[in-house]
Chain A
């Protein structure tokens, strides 16, 4: 600048020279200022104080500590970690600065003790000085934090009703799960699709878990973490996800088609059934033959009226006519008795004793309208009188006779005990023969059979209504007649006569069974 000539007036020449010198001085000053400023900005100083951040033991056997260095003072700075330990004299330096990365110190198994306090300090040093961090006190038991579980695998089990997802994982590789030195607990969390709602589950000490509340068509994300005894939870494992196929939807049209076809088939089958319902009914429910009584006109029975009923029940076929005693109609009764005296005494004044004695012949009729009622029997005074005197029904039994119309030698004669009627007196007394009839006669029987207990032999029949029965000798008789064939003769001997007649509703004359004698 000073080279520039200023054309000024003669008297200003001196001032230009002064300005140039001043400028030079300023320039030097400015340069000096700049230099000092430059020097000051990159100050080499002692390092700043480092800060110990944290320590961590992943398996309760080793641990690592990290620090944050302070400013380095523009000089190469080194950091050293020193520690003191409870129950150990002296100060020691970190055994391993490298394994765990920058600004860290790794204590291996040989240098790790538990239940003792460590006092750590980090010193930063450079050419200009040192800086020491605040002491950091720690005990291994308090800094336990495991690594995340590994190898998290998922698979979907596709069950019919609902799928489920099985999760499996491995414990962190550096953890000892066999000696009991540490006890691991697991936790997992699941989220569906892209939502932010995680659902957490505790798995205890198991390394597997099953999720059942999953729906098809979703993408499920699963993470697992673990904890050692009383330490801190590990980080969540890497994300694993699985997609559940939407198979149900694919199968839907097929199942719909199947259901429609089967519905059509059912409808067709139903229509066919309805169209042919009669034959189906025939086949499914074959008609059961109703009870048909020969010679009875069921329609007449149904139409009611005593006449009709009577007519209906009369056999019109080749059966012999049957006598029926009716309450209010037929008054022809057959008196059955054993007492001959009665016979004689009453022979004259035989009245129309209304002794209902009913005979049911070998027929298939079981009429419900019993013509015989005990009431009539009881009502009859004459009868009672007769009864007192003679006890005609001492041993009434079933008297069965078959009107013999056809050939004697008829093969289908029923083997019932028969007596031959000796004499008929009047119209309601029959005298029956004592002995058994051996030859064919009025009454016929093919065989000689013993008379059962409760049967009586008809001794004689007096008139149309009176049948005199044999007194209690039936057993003897049979014994007498037949010899020793019948072993139960002895049984019958001391039998007492029993008086009662029981006229059952069916019209049978039946004795009341004898009390057992044995």
Chain B
């Protein structure tokens, strides 16, 4: 995992250097790289959810809090294809960056609670959460670079504070439930980020239809 982190951050640093020195890396390549990163991020979150659900007590599913209680739900995002295709590129990037930024703290909470999770797959889950953090960080850096190339609206980041729910829960069941809930919020947001970046990538590479 550390290797992956250094690899991706090295790659990102290389991209940064390239951008600063040559300033000729095309946006399409940057977007391609970013959408690969977001794809990986969502895939990881899906894997963790599957690990969690493999042993999840069925009762827990019923009493899960409603997803409208995710801390990022206040952000207005497009909810279907038509709406999504009407959003400008800068706004799409801004949304992606805001969502990603909103998870930097909660991921720490997830990571901390993964260490004490009462679950048979606890080790695997904990490792993957760490990987998730690293990927999230590198993707955030990449999007920061992209935003510099895309206009002023891309620089706006909506702040979505995570209301300090540091205690996941005392008992096993509530701990698991809250962990699962937080993870499901992350899954949704990572899917949003992935979709937005892929729409952006396709728009940026009009000459290469195979990118869409």
Contacts and interface: CB of A to CB of B under 8 A. Distances in A.
Most buried by A among B39, B68, B81, B84: B81
B79 A181 contact: no
Interface residues of B, number: 29
23 contacts: A86-B66, A86-B67, A87-B68, A109-B81, A113-B79, A113-B80, A114-B80, A115-B77, A116-B79, A117-B67, A141-B188, A141-B191, A177-B212, A178-B202, A178-B212, A179-B199, A179-B212, A180-B212, A181-B199, A183-B198, A205-B210, A230-B42, A230-B194
Given A178-B209, A180-B203, A230-B43, A109 B80 contact: yes
A505 interface: no
Contacts of B202: 178-180
B153 interface: no
Contacts of A61: 80-81
Most buried by B among A176, A181, A206, A229: A181
Contacts of A181: 81, 84-85, 195, 198-199
A216 B198 CA distance: 43
A139 interface: yes
Nearest to A206: B210
Interface in A89-146: 109, 112-117, 139, 141
Interface in B57-82: 66-68, 77, 79-82
A60 interface: yes
B203 to A, nearest CB: 7
Contacts of B66: 86, 117
B82 A230 contact: no
Given A179-B212, A180-B211, 18 more contacts: A61-B80, A86-B68, A109-B82, A112-B80, A114-B79, A114-B80, A114-B81, A115-B77, A115-B188, A116-B79, A178-B212, A180-B203, A181-B81, A181-B84, A229-B198, A230-B46, A230-B191, A230-B194
Chain A interface size band reads: 20 to 34
Contacts of A86: 66-68
B201 interface: yes
B201 A180 contact: yes
B192 interface: yes
A339 B35 CA distance: 108
A178 B66 CA distance: 34
Nearest to B43: A230
Interface string B83-96: 01100000000000
B198 A180 contact: yes
B118 to A, nearest CB: 24
A179 B196 CA distance: 11
Contacts of A141: 188, 191
Most buried by A among B77, B200, B202, B211: B202
- What is the interface of chain A mostly: helix, strand, loop, or mixed? loop
Interface in A180-206: 180-181, 183, 205-206
Most buried by A among B194, B210, B212: B212
Interface string B182-197: 0000001001101100
A403 to B, nearest CB: 92
A109 B209 CA distance: 25
A86 B203 CA distance: 30
Interface string A142-185: 00000000000000000000000000000000001111110100
Interface string A227-258: 00110000000000000000000000000000
A444 B211 CA distance: 101
B92 to A, nearest CB: 11
Given A179-B85, A180-B201, A115 B212 contact: no
A356 to B, nearest CB: 85
A215 B195 CA distance: 43
Contacts of B80: 61, 109, 112-114
Contacts of B82: 109
Contacts of B46: 230
B73 to A, nearest CB: 8
Nearest to B188: A115
A115 B43 CA distance: 16
A277 to B, nearest CB: 69
Nearest to B212: A180
Nearest to A181: B81
A61 B83 CA distance: 11
A170 to B, nearest CB: 14
Contact of B81 (A60, A87, A139): A60
Nearest to B197: A180
Given A117-B67, A176-B81, A229-B194, A183 B42 contact: no
Interface in B17-53: 39, 42-43, 46
A183 B43 contact: no
A227 to B, nearest CB: 12
